Amino acid sequence: MKRFTLHILAAATAVLAHGTALAELTIGVVLPLTGPASGLGIPMGNTVKMWPATIGGEKVKVIVLDDATDPTKGVQAARRLISEDKVDVIVGSGATPVAIPIADVAAEAKTVQLALSPVGLPPGKDAWTFRLPQSNTVMATAMVAHMQKQGVKSVGFLGYTDAYGEQWLQALTPLLEKAGIKLLGAERFARADTSVTAQALKLVAANPDAMVIVASGSGAAMPQLGVLDRGFKGKIYQTHAAATKDLMRVGGKAVEGTFVTSGPVVVAEQLPDTHPSKALGMKFNAEYEKMAGAGLRNQFAAHMWDVYLMLDKVVPAALKKGKTGTPEFRAALKDALESTPALAVTHGVLDYSPTDHWGFRPDTGVVMKVVGGEWKLER
């Protein structure tokens, strides 16, 4: 299992100079650095390397494991982090099918999981899981509102066979019904599939006004090209898992005009000056692109930065009730996440509570359009 550890020593040197020693906050990170969802995991891993030497005043040890977009490997990684590394918090996975079983491990160990995908869990099963991405319902709300403005009356659905695709369909269907938009067909495909010819033929034959494609990273282009190759001429919508330049890199000119839901950070410069995430988003994008390359900002990298912003806020409160490395601290961290006042992050305003481990308001999502190979905020 691929593993690397970031053990930042600069903080320790500074503290020793003052004659005191900091406790160590141990963070276990599980990411799809390889496999079908690597387009999400790699940017997240890049951002981990941007974290400062201390979080919440504590020296930080970060252990990163690759789940290879495999639920079994993700569970193995999470158990290893808890049993061997005694982590204070688990971050991940960036792939929904992997993050779901990790939630069970986190709950069993009474360790906070900061999920990097919009995992839908049964009531009561998310007691120790907090999500950093916007929920599928938040994003579907933005998507359907945009459809109404565009005069869309019918849609086709083409999405993953796994939990991400299923949960998007569940979130989207009632919103379409409420808006009076007909769902003319729903077809599915696996993340590893290289063609959607049969599914595309059925959906194009139904002649919807718009097509909703639920896929992620560079894999989001393939199904879109599939329906275009079958002659589809209507509008195409992609979800927040496709909010990366990989869509344009793989799809080329064929994806021009595509509408993509996203958190506000991707188009931070285009936000109103009053938006709570504008300054934070612009600063993060500048630093990330300085490291990763111009134009490579994306939804996923920013989620990992928001992990840092949230932990930096809640760790001091948790330390008042327990030392890092103890059950008391882990329980206190959960309590602190549920009770901390609303916090502006790059993706909006997070406001967790004991009954809401999603945090983002329904109006958090935005819709972007691919124009000239760049993102343009739809207003």
CA distances to 4, 53, 67, 86 from 12, rounded to whole Å, are 20, 9, 30, 20
Please tell me whether residues 123 and 203 are part of one structural domain: no
Dihedral sign, Cα of residue 96, residue 333, residue 23, residue 86:
negative
Q: For residue 279, name the pLDDT band (cuts at 50, 70, 90).
A: very high
- In a domain, residue 64? The reply is yes
Q: What mean pLDDT value characterizes the chain?
A: 93
- In a domain, residue 222? The reply is yes
Smallest Cα–Cα separation from 185: which of 161, 164, 162, 159? 159
Please tell me whether residues 197 and 222 are part of one structural domain: yes
- In a domain, residue 207? The reply is yes
Please tell me whether residues 41 and 30 are part of one structural domain: yes
- In a domain, residue 331? The reply is yes
- In a domain, residue 369? The reply is no
Q: For residue 277, name the pLDDT band (cuts at 50, 70, 90).
A: very high
Please tell me whether residues 344 and 228 are part of one structural domain: no
- In a domain, residue 362? The reply is no
- In a domain, residue 149? The reply is yes
CB of 350 closer than 8 Å to CB of 313: no
Please tell me whether residues 291 and 234 are part of one structural domain: no
CA distances to 42, 133, 265, 287, 346 from 280, rounded to whole Å, are 22, 16, 8, 11, 5
Tens of pLDDT, residue by residue over 317-371, are 999 999 999 999 999 999 999 999 999 999 999 999 999 999 999 889 999 999 9
Q: For residue 20, name the pLDDT band (cuts at 50, 70, 90).
A: very low
Please tell me whether residues 128 and 153 are part of one structural domain: no
9 pLDDT above the threshold of 60? no
Please tell me whether residues 65 and 116 are part of one structural domain: yes
Tens of pLDDT, residue by residue over 94-133, are 999 999 999 999 999 999 999 999 999 998 899 999 999 9
Q: Residue 167: which CATH number?
A: 3.40.50.2300
Please tell me whether residues 340 and 253 are part of one structural domain: no
Please tell me whether residues 130 and 145 are part of one structural domain: no
Q: Which domain holds residue 213?
A: 136-262
Number of domains in the chain: 2
- In a domain, residue 228? The reply is yes
Please tell me whether residues 246 and 160 are part of one structural domain: yes
Please tell me whether residues 249 and 318 are part of one structural domain: no
Please tell me whether residues 189 and 128 are part of one structural domain: no
